[in-house]
Structure 1
Amino acid sequence: MNEHLPETLRAVEDELAALLRRGRALSWEIAREVHPNLEPNAYGLLLWLRRCGSIRLTDLAVRLGIGKGTLSRQIHGLEGLGLVRRDPDPDDRRAAQLSLTEEGTRRFDAARAARLGQMRRTMESWPRRDVEEFARLLHRFNETF
């Protein structure tokens, strides 16, 4: 094992802690942009729904690694805000497909555009290859963590 690895891992931990701290603050900010009553952790659910288009609750729970009961409560709150809807699953009438409402899509896209603009301004001085490498390494870290 590399003798400098523990020091390097501590540096990664420090930077990851700073990123998570900023991420929590940003989650509050973005959630409020989507809807004044949106909980910060719900933004991630909206992101998945926007990415998937339509997905069953059980499949979304598996992807997110959370229980169906917890997810169902969170989805219920999003439905109450008019951001998410449940439609009958055409393949299984006992199940439902979740998707963003038109209002949910509009609000999510507006908040996301603002966030991407902020990221663009933050990274505009970076060489394109560095941004690509950063994205690749973050993906690798998230996939293996």
Structure 2
Amino acid sequence: MSPAEQVRGVDQAFLALERELAVFLRRARASSGEMAREVHPDLEPAAYGLLLRLDDAGQQRATDLAAYFGVGKATMSRQLRALEQLGLVARAPDPADGRAFLVQMTGEGRERFRSVRNARRAKYAHRLASWERNEVAELARLLRRLNSAAQAAGEDPT
């Protein structure tokens, strides 16, 4: 049976989306690993996204970070502990709730992260140099919409 016959009745647009997302995610994971190592040789690839969120949103509670990424509190605690040991983040008591802590990037963490992030943005600009600005904006808009739908449903966008 040919591949076309196997997928008869299946929406080809969704199959194409699945295929392209799989390639994109594989490349993104590899890229996150490289960028994490550039921030710090001992940094786990998944922790790069944490630094990205902290840089964008500022200090946050660990529970808020766990909810944002859709991971458990134990997973988030382990990742934050590793970042803290590397000197990239620090915890401070939450003035609004003495039982809770706020996580923020340290000066060194912010400096290392932003250096790598700026280099990554330059790579994106180079790769997409032939695209119109409105195409880049549309891609960002559609990805934000996909991520928002997944977050609202409480699931991973893939």
TM-score (norm 1): 0.94
Relative contact order (C-alpha < 8 Å, sep 6+): which is higher?
Answer: 1
SS at match of 1:36: coil
Structure 2: distance between partners of 1:98 and 1:88: 9
Aligned to 2:31: 26
Report the equivalent of 1:141.
Answer: 146
Aligned-residue offset at 1:23 = 0.4
Measure the CA separation in 1 of the matches of 2:139 and 2:75: 32
Cα RMSD, aligned residues only: 1.4
**Per-residue deviation at 1:18?**
0.7
Listed as ranges, the gaps of 5+ residues in structure 2 are: 1-7, 151-158
Question: Residue 81 of structure 1 aligns with which residue?
Answer: 86
Counting matched residue pairs gives: 143
Gapped regions of structure 1 (runs ≥ 5): none
Identity %: 51
Instruction: Quote the Cα distance in structure 1 between the aligned partners of 2:114 and 2:20.
Output: 29
TM-score with structure 2 setting the length: 0.86
Q: Superposition pairs for residues 1-145 of structure 1, below 5 Å?
A: 6-145=11-150
Partner Cα distance (2:84, 2:74) in 1: 15
3-state DSSP class of the match of 2:82?
helix
Give SS of 1:8's match.
Answer: helix
**Distance in 2 of aligned mates of 1:48 and 1:129:** 25
